[in-house]
Amino acid sequence: QNILYIINEGDTPIDRYSLFDLLGNKQNILVNQNGSLNISTLAPGTYFLHLNSTNYETVFKIIKTD
């Protein structure tokens, strides 16, 4: 319920995970070895997940509910 699973289907590994709230504040998240993110400490709300590698950067909108 509080774990976000990231599936990388590309050949390039994800180098950096960053999570920001709507005000642009960076949130502390725990990235597990399998690439999943523990978001249990986050308050309900809207967040933006930035994934970076050497070849690309992508952003996902995440909405956490109770």
Q: How confident is the model at residue 6 (pLDDT cuts 50, 70, 90)?
A: confident
**By three-state DSSP, how is residue 32 classified?**
coil
Contacts of 23 (CB under 8 A, 6+ apart): none
Q: Which residues pair with 38 in a beta bridge?
A: 3, 30
pLDDT in tens, 15-64: 889 999 999 999 998 888 887 899 988 999 999 999 998 888 999 999 99
Instruction: Give me the pLDDT at residue 12, please.
Output: 80
Query: Rounded to two decimals, what is the model's pTM?
Result: 0.84
Q: How far apart are CA 66 and CA 58, in angstroms?
A: 26
User: In 10 A of CB 39, how many CB atoms?
Assistant: 18
